[in-house]
Structure 1
Amino acid sequence: MTSAMLKALAHPLRRRITKVLARREFARAADVAADLDEPANSVSFHLRVLADAGLIAEAPERARDRRDRVWTRVSGAYSLGTPEHPVEDEALGGVLMRTVVDDHHELVRRVAAWAPEYVTGRATDVHALFTQRTVRLTPAEFEAMMTKVEDVMRAAVDAHDSDDPDGRSWDIDTVAADDTI
C-alpha cells in the first residue's frame, strides 16, 4: 500500500465510503452520500481523493451518460504490506492498522449485542456467527488455508446475483493467531 493510499484511508469518512462501495459494488456520489447521510459535495471530494490514491476507480460502463460518474473499489488495493512488499510509511501503516483493529472491535461489539437475541430464540434470522477453532499447522499450511478461505469468499461474491432482493451485506472478519502471540 502506497503512502497516498495510507493517507487516503486515514480519514474515517473515506473508510466508510470504501465500505459502501464494497456493499454496493458500484455507486454514484449521491448514492454514497445518501447511505452515509453526508453531504454529496463532501462525498464527491473524498471519492476523488480515494481515486487519486488508486483505491477506487470509475466504472464508465455503468454510467448513464458521459457526465455520470460511477465508482467501484480497485481489487487488491487494500493489502497493507508484506515482507516482500513492505509498507512505504511505517507510521501511517501503524495508524491504519489501529483503525482496522478499531473497526474490527466495533464489528465484534455489534455481533455481541445481537447474539443474545439469537441464542435465546427471540431472533430467528442469522445475522452473524461466532466461531472458534484451534488448529495446529505449519506456517506454509496456514498460508495455504487462508488462500483457500479467500478463494471461497471470492467465488461466493462472483456467484452472487446482485439483483437478488434477499442479498445482504455481510461484514466478515477472520481472526487467527498462532500460539506465540
Structure 2
Amino acid sequence: VEPAACPNDVWALDFQFDSDYHGRSIKVCNVMDEFTREHVGFTADSTIDAAAVVELLDVIACERGQRPRVVRMDNGPEFISKTLQSWAAEEETVQAFIPPGQPWHNGFVESLHNRMRDELFEQECFLDLEHARYCIGQWCHRYNTYHPHSALGFIPPEEFKKQFLSKVAYLSLGT
C-alpha cells in the first residue's frame, strides 16, 4: 500500500496497555492519520473487541466526514475479525496488515505509542478507567494542537492539516 497522500487517506490502528492505581488493566485502541500525524481517536476499556474497534472507526469517520482509503494494523484478533472485514468491505476500505512480529511497519502509530508512554502513562497514575479516558483525551488534544513534529516541519498536526487544506483550496481556485 502506497503512503498516505492526504488527510484521512491512511489510518493506523494499534493497541496499547496500561493499568490503573489498583492494578486493573486498561486497554487503549489508538487511531492516527498517517498523513497529518493526528491522533484522530481512541477508545479505552478493560477489554476491547472487534465490535468496539468498528464502533470507534465509525465515530471517527462521522466526525471527519469520511472513511479512510486504508486502515493499517497488525494481525491481532480484533483486526483480523470478520466484524472488521465486513466494515472495511462496506466502502472498499483496504485492510493493510503489517507482517507478524514487525511493528516498525506500523511506525507512525508505534511512535505515537512511545510518546504517549513517555509523556502520559509513565507520568500519570490513573485512579480508574474514567480518569484514564479523561487524561488520554487531554493528552490527545495537546499532542494534536501543540506538539511539533519534525516530519511536519516542526509544526503540530492540526496546524499541518490546516496549512495543507488551505494550499489545496488555493490551488483548486487556480483551475
TM-score (norm 1): 0.28
Larger radius of gyration between Structure 1 and Structure 2: 1
Of Structure 1 and Structure 2, the greater helix share is in: 1
Of Structure 1 and Structure 2, the greater strand share is in: 2
TM-score (norm 2): 0.29
